[in-house]
């Protein structure tokens, strides 16, 4: 993220600048990004989508999210854990998703690992890395970090548990998207709401 402070949208409300760049982003910014997400399947979906986003624009992923959900059985861990080599090949041919073999294989492998966990274990692990004290509201997008000590610790904990394709930057993006941190800029209509 680079840029300045919040920008007035069509309704006059101030928003993070990226949240006004496309209609898709306006809806995502206002209704999802930074809102707390709980539940193992919901967090598995976000973890997978953040991994697929690595090296790409989030908009690319956002616009294909329904394709991802269809291809990966709505990211139900138990269902994806049953996928085999034929499914991997099917996914490599699916134009509705990002066809990156390493990311697809990581998504399938991660489901197999998580299928062996108890209910709520992924949720508990991820949320245990939320900062203990809320940070100060960033004033500009330049004030928003890409990595924090908490995201580094989360990435290490996930890797130690056998989860693939997650580094500190991906972990921080997950923390932002799932409400573990609130990186809406000071003055943004979504900061408090």
Catalytic residues: 28, 50, 58
* Tokens (6 digits) for 89: 């090949």
Task: Select from 183, 185, 123 the least CA-distant residue to 154.
Answer: 123
Query: The tokens 């269809």 sit on which residue?
Result: 70
d(CA 183, CA 176): 7
Coil, strand or helix: which one is 15? strand
Contact call for residues 114 and 44 (beta carbons, < 8 A):
yes
Contact call for residues 188 and 26 (beta carbons, < 8 A):
no
Task: Select from 163, 42, 43, 69 the least CA-distant residue to 109.
Answer: 163
């Amino acid at each position: 993220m680079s840029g300045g402070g919040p920008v007035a949208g069509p309704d006059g409300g101030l928003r993070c600048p990226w949240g006004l760049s496309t209609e898709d982003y306006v809806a995502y910014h206002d209704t999802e990004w930074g809102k707390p997400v709980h539940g193992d399947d919901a967090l598995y979906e976000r973890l997978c989508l953040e991994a697929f986003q690595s090296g790409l624009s989030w908009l690319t992923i956002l616009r294909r999210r329904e394709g991802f959900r269809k291809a990966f059985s709505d990211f139900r861990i138990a269902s994806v854990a049953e996928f085999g080599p034929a499914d991997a090949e099917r996914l490599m041919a699916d134009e509705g998703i990002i066809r990156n073999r390493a990311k697809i294989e990581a998504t399938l492998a991660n489901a197999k690992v998580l299928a062996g966990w108890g209910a709520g274990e992924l949720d508990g692990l991820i949320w245990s890395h939320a900062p203990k004290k809320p940070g100060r509201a960033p004033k500009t997008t330049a004030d928003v970090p890409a990595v924090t000590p908490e995201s580094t610790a989360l990435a290490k904990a996930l890797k130690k548990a056998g989860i693939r394709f997650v580094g500190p930057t991906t972990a921080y993006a997950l923390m932002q998207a799932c409400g573990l941190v609130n990186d809406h800029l000071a003055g943004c209509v979504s900061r408090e709401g």
